[in-house]
Structure 1
Amino acid sequence: MEENGIPPNKTKFTKIYVEMHSRMFTSKHASQARQDRRIERKRAAEAFKFWLGLPNSYYGSEWRLEL
Structure 2
Amino acid sequence: MKENKYNLITFAGKEYASLAKLNITPKPDSMLRIMMVFKPLSKSIDVKKQELKPFIRKGFTVVEWGGTEIK
Higher relative contact order, chain-length normalized (CA < 8 Å, sep 6+): 2
TM range (shorter): under 0.3
Of Structure 1 and Structure 2, the greater helix share is in 1
Per the normalisation by structure 2, the TM-score is 0.24
